[in-house]
Amino acid sequence: MLRYILVRLLWLPLILLVILGITTWLMRIAPGSPFAAEKSIDPQIMQQIERKWGTNKTGWQWFGSYLAGIARGDLGPSFKVQGRTVNDLLGSALPVSLTLGLLALFLALLVGVPAGFLAGLRQNSIWDYGSMAIALVGISLPAFVIGAFLIVWLVFHWDVLPVGGWGTIDKLLMPAVTLSAPFAAVIARLARAGVLEVVHEDYIRTAKAKGLPKGEIVLKHLVRGAILPVVSYLAPAAAAILTGSFVVEKLFRIPGMGMHFVNSALNRDYSLVLGVVIVYATLLVLFNLVVDVAYGFLDPRVRLGK
C-alpha cells in the first residue's frame, strides 16, 4: 500500500515535466508576445525588454532556466503584473480559491449525494423525476446564468447579500452556490446510477434475504458500493473546483486562481501560465491518487499493492 503510494508520487515530477513541456511549446507557437502593447514598440526597445525578461532565448533554453528556477522553488516573475513573482500571485490567489472551492465541493456533496440516492432508491417516482430534472438544469445552465440570476434576485431584488468581493462570509455564499451547482448535478446523477447498479447485485439480495432492516441494508451495504462512481468523479472535480472558476470569480469579483488561468494565457504571461498549470496538474494527480487509495477501502474487489 505505502509502496504503491510512493511509486505514484514518484511519477508526479515526470508527469509535470511532460505537461510543462507541452504547455511551453503551445505558448511559444501562439501568436503574440507577453510584451505586445496596443502601441507598437520600437524593435530595439522590444529586444531590450525580451533580454531583460529572458524571453529572447530559444524555447529549450527558456524551459531549461525555468526548470532550474523550479528546482529552487522559484516560479519566476510575472510578466504582466510587474513586481510580483508567480509565487506571490499564486500564494495569495490559491487560498482564496481553496476556501471557495472547499465550500462549493461540500455543498455539492451535501446536495448531490442525498438527492441521487433518493432518486435511485425511489426509481421512477416523483422524487426521481424531480431531482433528476433539477440536476439536468444544474448541468445545462452555465455559471454565468446561475450567478446572474442569483445576483438579480438576492442582491438587487431582495437585497440580502452583498454584490461580490471577498473578505466576509456573506460574500462567499452566492459564488459557492454558483460554483457548486454543476458539480452537485453531476454527483446526483452519478449517485443515482451507482444506486441502480448496486441495488440488483447479489449481495444486496442476500442481505434482503437475510431479513436485514431496509435502513441497515442501505447504509451498510448499498452506500459503499453505490458511492464508487461519485468517488472516482471527485478527483477531477476537486482539482477543478479547488483551483477556481474564471466565470464565477469574474462575476463576483473574487481574487482567486480562476482569473489567472484565463488572463495569464490571454496575456501570454508565460511563467504565470506554467505556475497555474503546475498547481492544477499536481492537484489532479494527488486527488487521483487519493481516490485510488479510497477505492481500496470502499470496494472490497480492489486491493492495492498486492
How far from 186 is each of 6, 111, 134, 271, CA to CA, in Å? 31, 11, 11, 34
Min. distance of Cβ 215 from another protein in angstroms? 7
What's the grid cell of residue 262?
Answer: 484565463
Q: For 85, list phi and psi in degrees, rounded to 5.
A: -90, 160
Sequence-distant (6+) residues with CB within 8 A of 264 are: 80, 272, 273, 275, 276
Shorter beta-carbon distance to another protein: residue 8 or 28: 28
Sequence-distant (6+) residues with CB within 8 A of 91 are: none
Shorter beta-carbon distance to another protein: residue 88 or 299: 88
Shorter beta-carbon distance to another protein: residue 42 or 202: 42
The sign one gets for the Cα dihedral 97, 99, 105, 111 is negative
Angle ∠(194,197,200) on CA atoms, nearest 5: 135
What's the grid cell of residue 88?
Answer: 506571490
Shorter beta-carbon distance to another protein: residue 96 or 181: 96
Shorter beta-carbon distance to another protein: residue 232 or 263: 263
Min. distance of Cβ 167 from another protein in angstroms? 5
Shorter beta-carbon distance to another protein: residue 46 or 289: 46
The string of DSSP codes covering 222-284 is: IHHHHTHHHHHHHHHHHHHHHT--HHHHHHHT--SHHHHHHHHHHHT-HHHHHHHHHHHHHHH
Min. distance of Cβ 173 from another protein in angstroms? 10
Shorter beta-carbon distance to another protein: residue 132 or 183: 183
Footprint on this chain of another protein (rule: CB under 8 A): 30-33, 36-42, 44-46, 48-49, 52-53, 77, 80-85, 88-89, 92-93, 95-96, 98-99, 102-103, 106, 109, 148, 151, 155-156, 162-169, 172, 215, 219, 250-253, 255-256, 259, 263, 266-268
Can you say how many angstroms the Cα of residue 142 is from the centroid of all Cα atoms in its chain? 16
